[in-house]
Structure 1
Amino acid sequence: MTATLQTTAHVTSVHRYYELVDAGDVAGLVSMFSQDATYRRPGYEPMVGHQEMSAFYGGARVIREGRHTVEKVVEGEEEVAVYGTFAGVLHDGRNVDLRFSDFFEFAADGHFSRRDTFFFAPLV
């Protein structure tokens, strides 16, 4: 017997988010967050709301371009966790290839209310 997996709206939203990030669609990806959403990412102060996230994705982000590959998705009731790889180019021309984990929380209307990103990096 073969199991059939159904993709929920939350998981579909998370995959769509990475498509928009990789395409450089700042307005599209920011619109997936609620107006007062918080994004926490190593090396940056927490970003709150569309204006701060637009500023980040519109130029403050050190990544110029690249592609996310999601390898694993774990879903809770109103949250989705993923891990995968990212390969791309920084604004200074250096190539980057790393592993990441993201944790998304959802508002009642289906927008992201919070996102936390972690990178696998040799810090300690």
Structure 2
Amino acid sequence: MDLTEITNRYYRAVDSGDVDGVLDWFAEDGVYHRPGYAPMQGSAALRAFYGGERVIASGSHRIDQLIVEGSSAAVRGVFTGTLRDGTSVTVGFSDFIDYDSAGRACERHSYFDTPTV
């Protein structure tokens, strides 16, 4: 199982607006921790977030560093995009992801260098 490719698949899905692809990347009971939001657990909560609650309207992630160790990945990069209110943003981010034995994200923690997204 190539966790580097699986991790990159998530960013391609989210950048293209593929909500089903994002949900498929998460384990069925996966949990997403993101500043400014209560932890989102399970498909319904994740669909609500990625399908409309997310303040980001569109954009893309540039991955500067991706490290895989065992069943975990650490990612550092820059997101550039547009918020739902029309504001353009460029923000650094870090993600820490734990995968289950099937290669699906069971826990993800995101951090941002400014509180814009």
CA RMSD of superposed structures (Å):
1.0
Letter in 2 for 1:45: A
Match of 2:81 in 1: 88
Structure 1 segments unaligned to the other structure (5+ residues)? 1-7
Q: 1:105 aligns with which of 77, 98, 104?
A: 98
Structure (1 or 2) with the larger CA radius of gyration: 1
Q: SS at the partner of 2:12?
A: helix
Task: Give the whole-Å Cα distance in 1 for the aligned partners of 2:7 and 2:81.
Answer: 19
Matched, 1:68 2:45: no
Give the deviation of 1:48 after TM superposition: 0.2
Matched, 1:27 2:23: no
Q: SS at the partner of 1:13?
A: helix
Match of 1:4 in 2: none
Task: Give the whole-Å Cα distance in 2 for the aligned partners of 1:54 and 1:113.
Answer: 15
Letter in 1 for 2:20: A
Letter in 2 for 1:51: A
TM-score (normalised: structure 1): 0.90
The sequence identity of aligned pairs, in percent, is: 40
Task: Give the whole-Å Cα distance in 2 for the aligned partners of 1:118 and 1:44.
Answer: 12
How many residues are treated as equivalent by the alignment?
Answer: 115
Counterpart mapping for 1:36-75 below 5 A: 36-75=29-68
Q: SS at the partner of 2:103?
A: coil
List per-residue Cα deviations over 1:49-68 (Å, max 9, x = no partner).
Answer: 11100100000000000000
TM-score (normalised: structure 2): 0.95
